[in-house]
Amino acid sequence: MRYVVGYTANARGGDAVNLAVALARRQGASLDLVMVMPQDSPYNGIYPPVAGFESILERQVSQWLDEGLALIPDDVSATAHIHRGDSEAEALIEAAVELGAALLIIGASSTGLFKRFSIGSVASALLHASTLPVVLAPSGYSRTEPITRLTCAVGTRAGAEDVLRTGIAMARRRSLPLRVVSLVAEGADDAEVTVAQATTHLREVAEASQGVDVSALDKLEIDVVVGRGRSIEEAVDHLDWDDAEILLIGSSRLAQNNSIFLGATANRILRALPVPMIVVPRNYVLQSQELFHTTQVPLVETAAPTEVNK
């Protein structure tokens, strides 16, 4: 298993490295730190290239990558790469595909709500185009010990079963307890569901989520929780979050198959979320079933739903 880290020589890059180490330690994965250099092109800021400029720039990028590698503990295998491309986001996706990575990990900006998440241009492009899961580290993320819980956000529209199947596969693969959450904005004028409807929906989705080969599935811990508030952001804030967990969320229906598109609700969740987030491409469950060697088996019965309203 390999994870690509979109590294930058600043605090954001350090956040991404810390999260990558925490994920890698959970599954024994290796890391690939990638920095992007521009292609030689008339559209570059310096063209034709100034003599010696490219070698100077490449030496500087190599130095930054060495500094990034120095952040990674000895028990995690890591390699550094320079990848050229006209678009940083496209180059990172290309590098991840070429390296056979299962995840693409990046850091968020520090200007978000409570300094949690703020999406810059590169992150925004990745969250609307990537063909593999993108993992976002919140600003200031310092944990490097293994992740200890996976939370899966399940909506009320078509495709919820696919996201949950992916969550089950990921949790089993990493031997993690799984929490399934649904968020209800009770005070919003455009509120679509009540807590009772969300609870019923979660039960139905759990019962419908068959087809994941997780030998010893009865050992998988699943907790079902409904969070509520006057807004989606408040519902997120009212949930109990563990510093060692990560949230899994699916892509919008606007996304093309096997591609990411971060929807409006996911954006609102991101503004209040205090933990890292994994965004998976639409219909990614088909890929995850191949990745985790899945077959048809019954799903374990979930715990009784819990309502959260602090």
The percentage of residues in the chain with a pLDDT greater than 90, rounded to a whole number, is 34
Q: Of the candidates 123, 28, 39, which has an alpha carbon nearest to the alpha carbon of residue 78?
A: 28
Q: What percent of the chain has pLDDT over 70?
A: 66
Task: Mean pLDDT check: name the lowest of 76-85, 129-138, 139-148, 252-261.
Answer: 252-261
Asked if pLDDT for residue 105 goes beyond 80, the answer is yes
Contact 82, 61 (CB under 8 A): yes
Contact 31, 78 (CB under 8 A): yes
At residue 115, the pLDDT reads 46
Q: Mean pLDDT in the chain?
A: 76
Cis peptide before 48 (omega within 30 of 0): yes
pLDDT digits (tens, 9 = 90+) for 32-72: 999 998 876 555 555 555 555 567 888 899 999 999 999 99
**Torsions phi, psi of 57, nearest 5?**
-65, -40
The whole-model pTM stands at 0.80
306-308 sheet: strands from edge to edge: 78-84, 30-37, 2-6, 103-107, 134-137, 277-279, 245-249, 149-153, 178-185, 222-229, 306-308
Residue 202 in this model has a pLDDT that exceeds 80: no
CB 82 within 8 A of CB 58: yes
Q: Spell out the alpha helix ranges (H) of the chain.
A: 11-27, 53-70, 88-98, 121-126, 160-173, 195-208, 232-238, 264-272, 284-291
- The C-alpha angle with vertex 191 and arms to 186 and 194, in degrees rounded to 5, equals 55
Can you give 139-171 as a three-state secondary structure string? CCCCCCCCCCEEEEECCCCCCHHHHHHHHHHHH
Q: Measure the CA angle with vertex 297, ends 295 and 300; round to 5°.
A: 135
- Most confident residue range from 3-7, 58-62, 181-185: 3-7
